[in-house]
A and B are shown apart, each in its own frame.
Chain A
Amino acid sequence: SQQGEEDPQALSIQEGENATMNCSYKTSINNLQWYRQNSGRGLVHLILIRSNEREKHSGRLRVTLDTSKKSSSLLITASRAADTASYFCAPSNDYKLSFGAGTTVTVRA
């Protein structure tokens, strides 16, 4: 299926450290997006990378995309307590974004 699958399921890091999470998917895509969700609220869009791009940056976020391996990674540098949240990747195609179960990131002070 097109659904993104995030790995790891959970991640606990110290404030100031980097957090890396991965996403795999199975079908062709137009783009891949990353979202953050705090405490069961609505998701917030973080970054979009198109299928013809390999890397993209936005502030402390860095996203890579490898369409040959059907995988993406999200790196959050210099993490802060406010980065504690669940992160979801969403491969996009055919008027549909398919989210996985997410990676829960806990940033310890």
Chain B
Amino acid sequence: KAGVTQTPRYLIKTRGQQVTLSCSPISGHRSVSWYQQTPGQGLQFLFEYFSETQRNKGNFPGRFSGRQFSNSRSEMNVSTLELGDSALYLCASSPGGQLEKLFFGSGTQLSVL
């Protein structure tokens, strides 16, 4: 079974631009969670989707948004990028309703210049 796939692996953007990151969960998994990881803040929860519905979201500004498609693939979008958005963005999938084990992708390393 293929693991969680995140694309692209690396991304360089400039301030003010927007970016879309993609996540393909493990086949059959219906939950997708997104995290931002920075050296100073650790892993911060962004949002979680299950069957195309956002069930929970973290404390991030509205510039951060996400969605999930009917095939469980998910995207997250960051608009009006700021230098502080530079981070490793991790996506994780889980089989069902309860988050009893997350399977993580390798992440997208975003650098904002």
Contact = CB atoms under 8 A, between A and B. Distances in A.
A94 B97 CA distance: 10
Contact of B56 (A33, A44, A48, A95): A95
Contacts of B41: 101
Nearest to B37: A40
A40 B88 contact: yes
A45 interface: yes
B42 A42 contact: no
A62 B10 CA distance: 36
A23 to B, nearest CB: 13
Contact of B107 (A31, A41, A88, A96): A41
| Interface footprint category on A | 20 to 34
Contacts of B102: 33, 35, 43, 45, 97
Contacts of A99: 35, 42-43, 45
B100 A42 contact: no
Contacts of A97: 33, 45, 99, 102
Q: Which of B41, B48, B102 has the most chain A CB atoms closer than 10 A to its own CB? A: B102
Given A42-B90, A43-B102, A95-B50, A102 B42 contact: yes
A42 B104 contact: yes
A43 B50 contact: no
Contact of B48 (A30, A96, A102): A96
A45 B42 contact: no
Interface of A: 30-31, 33, 35, 40-45, 48, 88, 92, 94-102
